Amino acid sequence: MVLTFPYPVCAAMCDPLCLNGGSCTKPGVCLCPHGFYGARCQNDITELCGDDFCAAVCLQECKNGGECIGPNTCHCPPQWEGIQCQTPVCKQKCLFGGKCVSPNVCSCRPGYTGVLCGKKVQVTAVSRCHYRCGNLEAIA
């Protein structure tokens, strides 16, 4: 028995088409079979091999001096971490909600200062200044 439906079947469309047996998972996104990579599965991993050596492939580039050492695996320098070596490392934790923004550099929340954001800023009372606005007439 064959079932037919009165409506069209929805499927993701990739234009250009996925290559090398890749399947379109959503518009413009290809899922590549083992051994292929690239936006359209156009690259063959074996093309990177020769003389008993295969170059590692990282589809997203390692950053901040990181080195691609295996399929999508970056080896990061000591001051960086993350999948692409994109996250700075602060040897000591930034305090009071401060964020590590580059190696060993904290960005402090308002009201805090210091290398690790450990010092609370002293807020002093500021007197309010009142200004009077009006039209000034030139005296001749």
- Asked if CATH classification 1.10.1200 holds for the domain at 92-124, the reply, yes or no, is no
Question: How far apart, in whole angstroms, are the C-alpha atoms of residue 44 and residue 41?
Answer: 8
Among 34, 67, 35, 61, residue whose Cα is nearest residue 49: 35
Architecture of domain 10-50: Ribbon (2.10)
Do the domains 10-50 and 92-124 sit in the same CATH topology, yes or no?
yes
- Mean pLDDT per block of 10 residues along the chain (140 residues) reads 61 86 88 83 71 70 90 90 95 96 96 96 63 50
Taking the chain, what is the end-to-end CA distance rounded to the nearest angstrom?
Answer: 106
pTM: 0.49
- Beta-bridge mates of residue 50: 53
Residue range 45-66, pLDDT digits in tens: 766 666 666 666 777 889 999 9
Cis previous bond, 16, omega within 30: yes
Of 2.60.40, 2.20.28, 2.10.25, 2.40.50, the CATH number of 56-89 is 2.10.25
| Domains in the chain: boundaries | 10-50, 56-89, 92-124
67 CB neighbour count, 10 Å cutoff: 13
